[in-house]
Every structure is written in C-alpha cells, then in structure tokens.
Amino acid sequence: MMKIIHAYHDGKLSREEVAVVSEFPLKLIVNGRELATLIASPHDLRFLVAGFLRVNGFVRSVTDFQMLSVCSDMSTANVRVKGEIPEKLKPVLTSGCGTGITFTLPGSDMPDRSFFPENRKVLPADLFSLMEELARRAEQYRSHGGIHSAAVGEGGKILFYAEDLGRHNTVDRLAGEALLREVDLAGKSLVTSGRISSEMVAKAANLGIAVLASRTSPTDMAVRLAEEQGIMMVGYLRGGKFFVYSHPELLDCAVVDS
C-alpha cells in the first residue's frame, strides 16, 4: 500500500509518498479446529496455507485436501483434510521478520534422503543464474524493502517464485504451489534473499531440497542440520563468489586445498 510520510533530510521534513509492506493475519481452521494465525503478505494465500500444512506434516499430496477455502474478507482459511489432527500440538515460534509458527521441530521426523542419486552435482553457473533471476523478480523487495523472496529451481531455471514479509513464509508458499501443481521438489535447489535459519532447513529437508542458497548467511544450527540432512548449504552467493558450509562434494567444480 502507499502512504504519505515525512522524510527528514538536511535539517528539514518533507512530505513523500512511499510504499509500505502489507501485513495480513490469516486465521487457519483445519477440520473445524483453529490451528494458528499466520502473519503474512496478503497475496496467493492458498499456496501459503497448503505449504504450511505440507511442511508440518498434516498433508502429503493434493489428494489429502477435501476442502481448501480462503476468504480474505474474513481473514480466514477453512480447510478439511483426510485423517485427524493430533490432539496435542506444540507450537514453535520461528525466527526473523514476520515471526511465524511451526509444529515441527528442526531435525524431527526428517525423511529418508537416500533416494537421491549419488552422482548428482550442481553447477556453480546454475546457482548464480538462479540468484540473478530471483533478484530480477523481486520488484517489491527493491521498491520498499521488508519483503523476502525465494525460489525453487533446477538447471539454472526458476520453477516457482514466492515473496512474503516472512522468509519462512516464502518456503511455505513454494511448498504449497508445488503441492497444488503436483510437482516433486526432490533434488531441486532453493535460493532465498534472507538469512537461512534452522526451521528453513527443516522445511527444505521435508521437501527433498538438495541445495539451499542465500545472498546472506546461515545460522550455526542451520549449518549443522544441513550437514545431517545431506543438503549443500551455500551463503553469500553474490558477485561471482559464494561460501559452501556443508556438503561441498555436491558442487561440480575442482577443489583446491590451500
């Protein structure tokens, strides 16, 4: 949204019109039970809802949904899924902008990643291409800040793109769109504009992501979890350089020991 504000410069205040990030609370009701209130950007909320339920283990495929209805006017998502929702759920607050909620602790109930082919390799050029394309698509992020962007790609080409005020929400949105479009994300690369935290790695692992890369840094817990889950963690991917924090053997390039 646009808002008139006062900007200070050279000892004076002047009126300016600027864009302000929209923050939208969405009450999530699953099988008649209020599960959580998601704080997010207001667009494509069905992807956010589907992805949130996917990465928290409430659904596995699009056929698990019996109803998925989002009413923006009422700030409510009504969902009916197959099976029962566990009676006792322990919510965990996620870190970062637009603090969210998860019901899956990082490192718990991780999938068996042995199905990945042993000879899988990622070209550095493909990672640079994905990050450059992410930056080109992030018009809202460049216009007023406060918005995180992320994308899933393969072979240097973006398959799905998402943006949200919460970086954890961008992963949920990607998971949700892939789920509803019935696209398997196993072995794909995920690039993000923001810091990589442990809950993002946990979500990526649940999706079968092979590479998780950022323009900035991962946390220490994120690196440890990526190492455990066989994910190549890449940070500071910009300016023709990057750091590999875990599983460098997945990168298709020569290794020089100094």
Catalytic residues: 97
Of 101, 112, 91, 95, the closest CA to residue 228 belongs to: 112
Cβ count near 33 (within 10 Å): 11
Q: Report CA-CA distances (Å) from 241 to 54, 235, 244.
A: 33, 9, 10
Using CA atoms, how far apart are residues 175 and 191, in angstroms rounded to an integer?
13
Contacts of residue 56, defined as CB under 8 A and 6 or more positions apart, other chains included, come to 102, 103, 104
- Are the C-beta atoms of 200 and 192 separated by less than 8 Å? yes
Using CA atoms, how far apart are residues 199 and 220, in angstroms rounded to an integer?
12
Using CA atoms, how far apart are residues 22 and 42, in angstroms rounded to an integer?
7
Burial letters 191-215, b for 16+ CB under 10 A, else e:
bbbbbbbbbbbbbbbbbbbbbbbbb
List strand residue ranges (DSSP E) for 109-168, in order: 148-154, 157-164
Q: Enter the tokens of residue 154.
A: 């393969």
- Are the C-beta atoms of 50 and 3 separated by less than 8 Å? no
